[in-house]
């Protein structure tokens, strides 16, 4: 499997195992989840894409059952996770309306919860899941830099950001954004014509595709 270098010492497999539906499987036993992870690893797929919101805030814990039962798996994996979407489910049960939260306290709490749920010490890349129209980019950038400095995350990226969203957040950070995960497929080709891919190509940014 081809490897893609995002930063010094950090590379992803070209294909990534997206875990959005992991908790929806009728079998979420440790044995079954472990088998899924190992099947991917056997094919050279070493990068696993998570998010706090997946499975109504349960998918990270489902994955964590396998990682806690077999800690040696972690050394063969790169783990991506995301935060900032708040819905009425799981740990955010009672939220009155879906919204985005990029405040420092929320990001810190989300990262700590993700680490605990998955039973890991560090997230390889943390993505801000959606642009927050109310984001204080100075506050958000500062907490993301601090999380890298603290060793809780290795690198920072974003998801579903337009070029101006990327530039705004990057302007308030010391550490570079390493990727933007955008919707891109045969059924969604807008990034080819709306300037998104051109922007990232112009600046030598790496893009992840979801569909």
* pLDDT score, position 142: 99
Domain count, the chain: 1
| pLDDT at residue 113 in the model | 98
Q: Report CA torsion sign: 39, 43, 46, 52.
A: negative
pLDDT given at position 200: 98
Any idea what the CATH number is for the domain that residue 172 is in? 3.20.20.100
Q: d(Cα 79, Cα 13) in Å, to the nearest integer?
A: 11
Element (H, E) at 211: none
86-91 long-range contacts (CB < 8 A, ≥24 apart) are 87/53, 87/56, 89/53, 89/56, 89/57, 90/56, 90/57, 90/58, 91/57
Q: What's residue 179's pLDDT?
A: 99
- Domain interval for residue 201: 3-210
Torsion of CA 159, 164, 167, 168, to 10 degrees: -90
Task: Of 2, 77, 1, 88, give the one whose Cα is nearest residue 33.
Answer: 77
Reading the block at residue 91, the tokens are: 């740990």
pLDDT at residue 95 above 90?
no
pLDDT in tens, 126-185: 999 999 999 999 999 999 999 999 999 999 999 999 999 999 999 999 999 999 999 999
pLDDT category, 93, cuts 50, 70, 90? Answer: confident
Q: What pLDDT does residue 87 have? A: 93
Task: Express each pLDDT in 34-90 by its tens digit.
Answer: 999 999 999 999 999 999 999 999 999 999 999 999 999 999 999 999 999 999 988
Contact (CB, 8 A) for 208 and 182: yes
DSSP string, the chain: --EEEEETTEEEESSEEE-TTGGGSS---HHHHHHHHHHHHHTT--EEE--TTHHHHTHHHHHHHHHHH-GGGGGG-EEEEEE-EE-SSGGGTT-SS-EE---HHHHHHHHHHHHHHHT-S-EEEEEE-S--TT--HHHHHHHHHHHHHTTSEEEEEEES--HHHHHHHHTT-SSPEEEEEEE-BTTB-HHHHSSHHHHHHHTT-EEEEE-
From 17, 54, 57, 100, active-site residue: 54
Q: Is 17 a catalytic residue?
A: no
pLDDT at 92 exceeding the cut of 90: no
Q: Over the stretch 20-38, which tens digit does the pLDDT of each residue have?
A: 999 999 999 999 999 999 9
Confidence at residue 98, expressed as pLDDT on a 0 to 100 scale: 95
């Amino acid at each position: 499997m081809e490897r893609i270098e995002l930063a010094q010492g950090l590379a992803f497999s070209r294909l990534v195992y997206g875990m959005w539906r992991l908790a929806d499987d009728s079998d979420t036993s440790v044995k079954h989840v472990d088998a899924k992870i190992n099947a991917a690893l056997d094919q050279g797929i070493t990068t696993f894409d998570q998010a706090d919101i997946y499975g109504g805030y349960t998918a990270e814990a489902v994955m964590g059952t396998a990682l806690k039962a077999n800690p040696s798996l972690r050394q063969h994996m790169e783990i991506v996770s995301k935060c900032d979407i708040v819905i009425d489910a799981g740990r955010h049960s009672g939220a009155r309306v879906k919204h985005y939260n990029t405040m420092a306290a929320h990001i810190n709490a989300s990262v700590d919860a993700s680490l605990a749920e998955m039973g890991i010490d560090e997230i390889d890349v943390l993505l801000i899941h959606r642009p927050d129209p109310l984001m204080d980019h100075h506050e958000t950038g500062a907490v993301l830099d601090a999380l890298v400095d603290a060793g809780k995350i290795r690198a920072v990226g974003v998801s579903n950001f337009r070029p101006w969203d990327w530039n705004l957040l990057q302007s308030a950070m010391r550490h570079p954004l390493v990727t933007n995960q955008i919707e891109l497929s045969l059924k969604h080709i807008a990034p080819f014509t709306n300037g998104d891919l051109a922007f990232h190509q112009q600046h030598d940014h790496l893009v992840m595709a979801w569909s």
